[in-house]
Structure 1
Amino acid sequence: MKITPYRIKKGIKYFKHYGAKAFFNRLRDKLEPDQVPYGPWFEKYRASEEELARQRRQSRKLPCRPLISVVVPCYRTPEKYLVEMMDSVRNQSYENWQLCLMDATPSCEVEEIVQKFCESHQEKRIYYQRLKENLGISENTNAGLKAARGEWIGFLDHDDLLAPEAFYEITALINREPEVEVIYSDEDQVEETRQGLKHKKPHFKPDFSPDLLCSNNYITHFLCVKNTVLKKTGGFRKEFDGAQDYDFILRCTELAKKTGHVPRVLYHWRVHSNSTADNPLSKTYAYEAGQRALQEHLARTGRKGEVMQLPHFGFYRVKYAVEGTPLVSILIPNKDQAAVLRRCIDSIQKSSYQNYEIIIIENNSTEPEIFAYYQELLGEQPFSQDSCREGKLPGGQRVRIVVWDSGFNYSAINNFGASYADGSYLILLNNDIEIITESWIEELLGNCQRPGVGITGARLYYPDNTIQHAGIVVGIDGIAANMFPGLPRGREGYYHKAAIQLNYSAVTAACLMVSREVFEELHGLEEELTVAFNDLDFCLRAGKAGYLVVYDPFAEAYHYESKTRGAEDTEEKLRRFGDEIEFIRIRWIDLLKQGDPYYNPNFSLKKCNYALKP
């Protein structure tokens, strides 16, 4: 990394904002290697014996020390797996727990293993029950719920493992955030090798993301639910066997005051030939059950949409229905570049949704070609620099051309354009966008009409068919960055996140939709941010106001990347860019310090592809 006066100045400002510790962490991020293998990473960050001893001491001082009951349905569990599972619970640094083993094995083999284990360890916290018959995974688990005495109930498969700090981390979160009623953690997979257990395929998760949960049961393990919430659900439903956990999680998160997340690997999903982890085809029926569970979730929460399975097992697409045919106003700032604007508007005219208007905000153009194109759009009405002029597209949609004669200020230009809009929904669209998906307006609109959703953004590509935008994460490169830049179209990234709908803290204003109501509530874009980060700030303010920001990969477009603005290559532009960075740091300092809730803190703040942080 080359040291320059600009970088020195930038570093001093960063040091003042965040302090020495964050400054040196950021410097380490800048110097991190290209790829961090998970095995050594896990060994580096797993809880040490010293840390576990500290947790044992600390757990006894916690104000709230709930009993955690863990329910485990058993069926012909191999002795090695069963003993290792029980050991993983017995070795917890938090000691107030109960393990409920519900055994549907027709023989006595599991019972004898458990009895021998409890006698050898003098363990009285393990409750074993032999079930009269095997009623399936849901009913067997429900039997365990009846036996569970805990204020919190956790769930563990009979051949999986818990990290020794699992119960402590869950209890620590309960003490920090008493309103939390559902908690989940990160997880990984383990398999037997000659060298012992090998840890692989970590699943580092965001904090609660309702849209991600409707795309995939990302919560899975380790799940703990407050007993008061669990009782309201009625437990597991056997008609969803195979996806009973997905159905259960959807219902629990609907009822919980708050869903919490521990960003640590607390659960190890064992991989062997019969496990779903290793062989997804072993439970194809489960994905159909998941589809039904998700469809019922939509019905319970009052949302109209069609659930479809995606090619990757266990992943879904919810196509939300559009209510009515509201007018959508498309705002396009423009300066010169007639061919670029023509390509953009030609692509809009291929849209399957027809009730829209286009508002072009003209900003100091000088090229005769653009004025000729304006006149073509207006028809007989002559273009004027003094007032709004209107024309009609071949499909009958209105085109308005309004003039912003001040200097370039992306925020002010869009706010000005919005004042001429008649639509109940606004699309902010760069002039260098070319729409790919004919149903893009319906895609964005179906999401924006959902209660609680504030902003919806699209998946954008460079002209070479690599990703330009697939959501924005706060904190990367010091402020924020687009995810998956350069990923080839058709590739889906970490746990398919480039290709499924989920929540982010922000999306790009190169192509986003917002309702007029939300736009006005937020007072539009921040005009102090003339070029950069105005979309970031707008989305963050929407999130602070309680709205979700949705990334919808099924609305796709090419983005030719700010052609009308030029490069950030003059001293004036670099100074302005630095001032806008400073504005964001001051306004959003708490978020920048705490970290993006939709981005796991174990990920790199240097890379944009969900790479591990060293």
Structure 2
Amino acid sequence: MVSPFTLVPEQGIEIRRGRMTAVATPAWLSISPVTLFTTRTWVRIRYRSSFFDDPVRPLLRFTTRSGEVLHDAMTGAFAGGGEWIGRVPPGTMAVSVSPVTRTGQFDFTLESVEPVSPLHLFWRGLFQAWKWTAGSVIARLLNARREARQALRFAGTATPLSDYHRWMQTRSRDFDPAGLDAPRFDWTTGPTTRLLLSLNAAEDQDVRALLTSLQRQAYARWVLYLVRPNDGAMPAFVTELVENEPRCRTVTDIADIVPDIAAGDWLSILPHHARFPDHALACLMEHAARNPDARLIYGDEDAVDASGRLHAPILKPDWSPLFEQTVGYLGDAVFLKAPEAGADGLLSTLWPNPRVESRHIAMTLPPGAVSHLRRPLLRRLSPVDALAAHPAVQSPEPPADPSSWPRVLIVVPTRDRCSLLRRCVQGLRERTDYPDFHCVIVDNDSREPDALALLKSLQADARFTVLHRPGPFNFSALSNDGARSLPSDVIVFLNNDVEMLSADWLRALVKPALRPQTGIVGALLEFPNRKIQHAGVVLGLGGDAGHIYHSEPVATRGYLGQLTGEREVSAVTAACVAIERKKFEAVGGFDEVNLPVELNDIDLCLRLSERGFVHVLTPHARLIHHESASRGFKTNGYTVYARERAYFDARWAQVIRDDPYFHPALSLYFLRPALG
């Protein structure tokens, strides 16, 4: 049953000429009546936003009677609509939503708030994520209630990528030019989108379908150029199309297009089998108007089969140069802004290999000039499963080794568990071919005789120093003390429960850390059973931050080929990371006051990101991680570390809601990419 409600500006939002406008961030709307939530335990919220707003994840805020403030990020309205399923915190007194992360006009509305049965999630989870369902039951039996609720969300709220068509049916809506999607600038005088299609491979039905999709566009300023061979006769169907549609033209030389091009027009070379969703060009032009510095815009893609079934979504990250070099993920939905002069050079560069040349152009553009439009801009006609959900992996030239390797200080906090530390030390001695490193073992009150004996024996090795730091376990303080103990150019933080697999692991970790723009470099970590423990951190995953691909087989290529080479990530785990000392010290190291145990590595990454540094996950450094073996595993982590999680949430809620390298259409409650 749909319930009535209102959205009232609460903070940073004004109503101007009848439209909501964010005048400051964070921008909040209060939802009333609050009884829509307080009379239910689990709810489903359906909402809509304009196609012309960035589909950032809306952020919910629950305020309870005790004064506790809890945030929860929803899925971005990728296809115009979105859905969130979650539990209303007990004692909720007020509920607010933050729909945007930037100032300016926006359009957002709630459609419904409905009760959801936990039993429904339980049964759904049995079929798609039975381990999480079982985990929910076990946590409930152990009276770990929050952990049980969290496991239930992981079990029953995500949708597999293979069910994209069904997911789109419940999230997509019609284009609404008189309402949510009213134009925000004068479309009759806007730039023209100039599209090129080679007739060499295109069939009659392909060209007709493309032209039909263009004729349905809400934004009408486009021209389609059909490029035919010099020695080829004009196909009869082309003559027919050109006669009936003045915006469809033929050329034999791309230079013939140049006189048509005005500065500010947008150019794209299309693959055969291309189609455009009805709102695609309107979204493109509104995005260009909202991002005037953009010179290359790329969008997401999907496919449709002959029966009209959608499949194979390609949901791309925001601009990621390293990942582009490895995979070439920009794909075909790429549009370049015509310059004031030199359009002929731009076209001749792109033709006839636009994928490769678009990458080269993107690599030369300044920051902010490459912009990701996080909506489906291009659709291919393709049988189900014929189009892989990731591009082909490239083979980029590996960067050269530095002329001289910098001195590295390896910091290893430890307490007892001699077998773990011995294996780690053995790996440093026998499976590390790095030419210049020193290791400081930061001992936190080891008491076991064999551990004390091992620490004493290390004093005879000039490459090792033991630093004694007794007291309550504080990973941040132990790591900071270790980093300060000796000089070095690069610091590597290494857990004592890590085991080396190959001797070049440290070189692979340090090399990308030396790039000026790189913040922290993380390794790909495996469990002893050859499953992935860490392959990068996604902000907001599980509420705060989590390890994507956790427990997947180590041979996994990853969605879009993410695990086939270095890629940008928002954060990495400190179990094995490298960072230049000057960058680490510039932000004050780990936060030992507010985050002594949990989330300190994510916090460090985010503080570095504030300064413009980009973090890297490299699969070329692979190690085994016996996770949390030295301090134990806690089933009630939410309770034990509640203070740290509350601080982290208050500090970073507006940041972790929208990881730039994890598409907002993807679920934050599944450990491999799935639809939210």
Q: Specify whether residues 116 and 237 from structure 1 end up closer, same or farther in structure 2 by C-alpha distance, changes over 3 A only.
A: closer
1:215 aligned to which of 310, 320, 326: 326
% identical equivalent positions: 25
- Confirm whether residue 564 of structure 1 aligns to residue 630 of structure 2: yes
- Confirm whether residue 154 of structure 1 aligns to residue 268 of structure 2: yes
Q: What does 1:248-327 align with in structure 2 at a 5 Å threshold?
A: 248-258=358-368, 259-271=370-382, 313-316=392-395, 318-323=397-402, 324-327=404-407
Q: Specify whether residues 12 and 246 from structure 1 end up closer, same or farther in structure 2 by C-alpha distance, changes over 3 A only.
A: same
Q: Specify whether residues 586 and 461 from structure 1 end up closer, same or farther in structure 2 by C-alpha distance, changes over 3 A only.
A: same
Q: What does 1:470-481 align with in structure 2 at a 5 Å threshold?
A: 470-481=535-546
2:277 aligned to which of 152, 158, 163: 163
- Higher mean alpha-carbon deviation, 19-28 vs 70-79, is at 19-28
Q: What does 1:186-585 align with in structure 2 at a 5 Å threshold?
A: 186-192=300-306, 196-228=307-339, 231=342, 234-235=345-346, 244-258=354-368, 259-271=370-382, 313-316=392-395, 318-323=397-402, 324-349=404-429, 350-379=431-460, 391-392=461-462, 398-527=463-592, 528-568=594-634, 574-585=638-649
1:117 aligned to which of 241, 248, 252: 241
Q: Specify whether residues 256 and 279 from structure 1 end up closer, same or farther in structure 2 by C-alpha distance, changes over 3 A only.
A: closer
Residues 315-359 of structure 1: per-residue CA shift (max 9 Å, x gap): 335533231121111100010111100101111221121211101
- Confirm whether residue 175 of structure 1 aligns to residue 289 of structure 2: yes
CA distance in 2, matches of 1:201, 1:599: 17
Q: Does the aligned pair in 2 maintain the 1:64–1:175 contact within 8 Å?
A: no
CA distance in 1, matches of 2:181, 2:452: 74
CA distance in 1, matches of 2:225, 2:172: 26
Question: Gaps (5+ residues) in structure 2?
Answer: 1-41, 44-60, 76-82, 88-115, 117-152
1:96 is displaced (CA, Å) by 2.0
Q: Does the aligned pair in 1 maintain the 2:541–2:669 contact within 8 Å?
A: yes
Aligned to 1:605: 668
1:406 is displaced (CA, Å) by 2.7
Q: Does the aligned pair in 2 maintain the 1:55–1:94 contact within 8 Å?
A: no
AA aligned to 1:316 is S
Aligned to 1:66: 191
CA distance in 2, matches of 1:261, 1:405: 49
1:569 is displaced (CA, Å) by 5.3
Aligned to 2:104: none
The two structures have a TM-score, normalised by structure 2, of 0.73
1:517 is displaced (CA, Å) by 0.8
Provide the secondary structure at the position in 2 that maps to 1:40.
Answer: helix
1:66 is displaced (CA, Å) by 2.1
AA aligned to 1:410 is F
Provide the secondary structure at the position in 2 that maps to 1:608.
Answer: coil
Q: Specify whether residues 146 and 460 from structure 1 end up closer, same or farther in structure 2 by C-alpha distance, changes over 3 A only.
A: farther
Q: Does the aligned pair in 2 maintain the 1:56–1:93 contact within 8 Å?
A: no
1:52 is displaced (CA, Å) by 5.8
Q: Does the aligned pair in 1 maintain the 2:158–2:667 contact within 8 Å?
A: no
CA distance in 2, matches of 1:217, 1:269: 18
Q: Specify whether residues 519 and 51 from structure 1 end up closer, same or farther in structure 2 by C-alpha distance, changes over 3 A only.
A: same
Tell me which protein shows more helix as a share of its residues. 1
- Higher mean alpha-carbon deviation, 461-470 vs 30-39, is at 30-39
CA distance in 2, matches of 1:93, 1:230: 29
CA distance in 2, matches of 1:154, 1:167: 12
1:73 is displaced (CA, Å) by 2.5
Q: Specify whether residues 375 and 217 from structure 1 end up closer, same or farther in structure 2 by C-alpha distance, changes over 3 A only.
A: same
CA distance in 2, matches of 1:612, 1:153: 31
AA aligned to 1:148 is I
- Higher mean alpha-carbon deviation, 148-157 vs 353-362, is at 148-157
Provide the secondary structure at the position in 1 that maps to 2:529.
Answer: coil
Provide the secondary structure at the position in 2 that maps to 1:549.
Answer: strand
Q: Does the aligned pair in 2 maintain the 1:317–1:501 contact within 8 Å?
A: no
Q: Specify whether residues 24 and 278 from structure 1 end up closer, same or farther in structure 2 by C-alpha distance, changes over 3 A only.
A: closer
CA distance in 1, matches of 2:546, 2:73: 23
Q: What does 1:42-61 align with in structure 2 at a 5 Å threshold?
A: 42-48=168-174, 50-51=175-176, 57-58=182-183, 61=186
1:208 is displaced (CA, Å) by 0.7
Aligned to 1:587: 651
Residues 272-325 of structure 1: per-residue CA shift (max 9 Å, x gap): 79x995899xxxxxxxxxxxxxxxxxxxxxxxxxxxxxxx94333553323112
Residues 485-511 of structure 1: per-residue CA shift (max 9 Å, x gap): 111121222122133211110011000
- Higher mean alpha-carbon deviation, 38-47 vs 582-591, is at 38-47
CA RMSD, 1 decimal:
3.3
CA distance in 1, matches of 2:664, 2:655: 13
AA aligned to 2:270 is L
Provide the secondary structure at the position in 2 that maps to 1:499.
Answer: coil
Provide the secondary structure at the position in 2 that maps to 1:70.
Answer: strand
CA distance in 1, matches of 2:193, 2:228: 20
Question: Gaps (5+ residues) in structure 1?
Answer: 1-6, 132-139, 281-311, 380-390, 393-397
Provide the secondary structure at the position in 1 that maps to 2:335.
Answer: strand
Residues 430-473 of structure 1: per-residue CA shift (max 9 Å, x gap): 00000113111111121011121111100001111100000000
Q: Does the aligned pair in 1 maintain the 2:199–2:227 contact within 8 Å?
A: yes
Q: Does the aligned pair in 2 maintain the 1:484–1:498 contact within 8 Å?
A: no
Provide the secondary structure at the position in 1 that maps to 2:582.
Answer: helix
Provide the secondary structure at the position in 1 that maps to 2:220.
Answer: coil
1:51 is displaced (CA, Å) by 3.0
Aligned to 2:249: 127
1:243 is displaced (CA, Å) by 5.0
1:552 is displaced (CA, Å) by 0.1
CA distance in 2, matches of 1:130, 1:244: 18
Q: Specify whether residues 35 and 20 from structure 1 end up closer, same or farther in structure 2 by C-alpha distance, changes over 3 A only.
A: closer
Alignment: residue pair count: 539
Aligned to 1:78: 203
Provide the secondary structure at the position in 2 that maps to 1:320.
Answer: coil
AA aligned to 1:348 is L
1:42 is displaced (CA, Å) by 3.2
AA aligned to 1:314 is V
CA distance in 1, matches of 2:413, 2:189: 56
AA aligned to 2:286 is A
Q: Does the aligned pair in 2 maintain the 1:333–1:430 contact within 8 Å?
A: yes
Q: Does the aligned pair in 2 maintain the 1:74–1:103 contact within 8 Å?
A: yes
Q: Specify whether residues 339 and 229 from structure 1 end up closer, same or farther in structure 2 by C-alpha distance, changes over 3 A only.
A: farther
Provide the secondary structure at the position in 1 that maps to 2:212.
Answer: helix
